[in-house]
Amino acid sequence: MDKQVSFLDQLFDQGILHDSGVDGLYARSDLFEEVITRFEALAKSFGKDETSEAMVFPPGMPIKDFETSGYMKNFPHLAGTVHAFCGNDHDHAGLLQCLEVGEDWSENQKPTDVALTPAACYPLYPILARRGALPAEGAYVALQSYCFRHEPSRDPARMQMFRQREFVRAGSADQAIAFRETWKQRGQDIMKLLELPCTVDVANDPFFGRAGKMMGSSQREQELKFELLVPVNSAANPTACMSFNYHMDNFGKAWDIRQQDGSHAHTACVGFGLERIALALFRHHGMDVESWPAGVRKALWG
């Protein structure tokens, strides 16, 4: 049995997560949720003087905005869309018959206008765009969303449904870049408080296919994405628990978000993988939160 499986089994055995039968889809215990809530409070305290507003999104976003994001161009393999039964009585009888005999029952499942949100900041951009030009100071939003990525795995740190807490900056290139640099440092300061070993490194998103390889290299060359890595399952392959992203004016152009001078806004975001950070804490400090180091308990529980 490899180490990943044993960590997942340990989490199940301790009742921290509960198995659903589908890899990457787990019920969370109260304790796991409490650690996440405490972590979020800590993270929010770092950005509190700058944040102009906060939002929490549902796990689905408008399919139109999902299309605009370019997700199907870049990451079709990770995407999930919501379908619903759109048939008549006759079709319904057929569906029940298929279910009865264990056959494919999805013939009359048709696309709805909802996609599962793949990244917590995507639903924000169209909201900003609808408001008209950004104020001179830009926008600085704290947000949280459940996200879906179709990447089933027995690695407990690679879930199909998980939450990202993000801070998003929209404004000039200078504002976006300065934000990203500030949070790169803050991410490490937070991990120090949590007594978790970490490194920060340049990274790329898992773009699909052959063309995707080139996009990944170009993203790296331009240093558009950094990740903060913590050993969660293996020391050899640390897990990205935070990412620090500069999107240039790509999202500004895609959703038509404008600055005061009419030019497209530049955006940046910092994303905290909430489940991954909670798992890192359990991995490094043990399954019993009462016996976590005093400094860590103080950072989280005050």
Task: Measure the CA–CA gap between 203 and 240, rounded to whole angstroms.
Answer: 10
CB-based contact 86:108 (threshold 8 Å): yes
Q: What does DSSP say about strands 17-18 and 27-28: parallel, antiparallel, or unpaired?
A: antiparallel
Task: Select from 78, 121, 228, 242 the one that contacts Zn ion (CB under 5 A).
Answer: 121
Instruction: Indicate which of ligand AMP, Zn ion, none lies near residue 190 (CB less than 5 to 8 Å, by partner kind).
Output: none
Task: Select from 38, 149, 169, 247 the one that contacts ligand AMP (CB under 6 A).
Answer: 149
Task: Select from 74, 243, 259, 267 the one that contacts ligand AMP (CB under 6 A).
Answer: 243
Nearest to 58 by CA among 142, 111, 120: 120
> What does the DSSP 8-state code read for residue 264?
B
Q: Does 275 bind ligand AMP (CB under 6 A)?
A: yes
Shortest approach of Zn ion to residue 299 CB, angstroms?
A: 24
Shortest approach of Zn ion to residue 179 CB, angstroms?
A: 12
Task: Measure the CA–CA gap between 14 and 37, rounded to whole angstroms.
Answer: 20
Residue 18, CB half-sphere, CA atoms under 13 Å: how many?
7
Among the residue ranges 14-22, 90-98, 121-129, 185-193, the one whose residues contact Zn ion (CB under 5 A): 121-129
Instruction: Indicate which of ligand AMP, Zn ion, none lies near residue 151 (CB less than 5 to 8 Å, by partner kind).
Output: ligand AMP
Crossing angle of helices 274-285 and 3-13, in 10° steps, is 90
Instruction: Indicate which of ligand AMP, Zn ion, none lies near residue 162 (CB less than 5 to 8 Å, by partner kind).
Output: ligand AMP
Shortest approach of Zn ion to residue 124 CB, angstroms?
A: 8
224 versus 300: smaller Cβ distance to ligand AMP:
224
Task: Measure the CA–CA gap between 155 and 7, rounded to whole angstroms.
Answer: 8
Among the residue ranges 170-178, 192-200, 210-218, 240-248, the one whose residues contact ligand AMP (CB under 6 A): 240-248
End-to-end CA distance of the chain: 39
> What does the DSSP 8-state code read for residue 258?
B
Question: Contact positions toward ligand AMP, by CB under 6 A?
Answer: 119, 149, 151, 157-159, 162, 164, 227, 240-243, 271, 273, 275-276
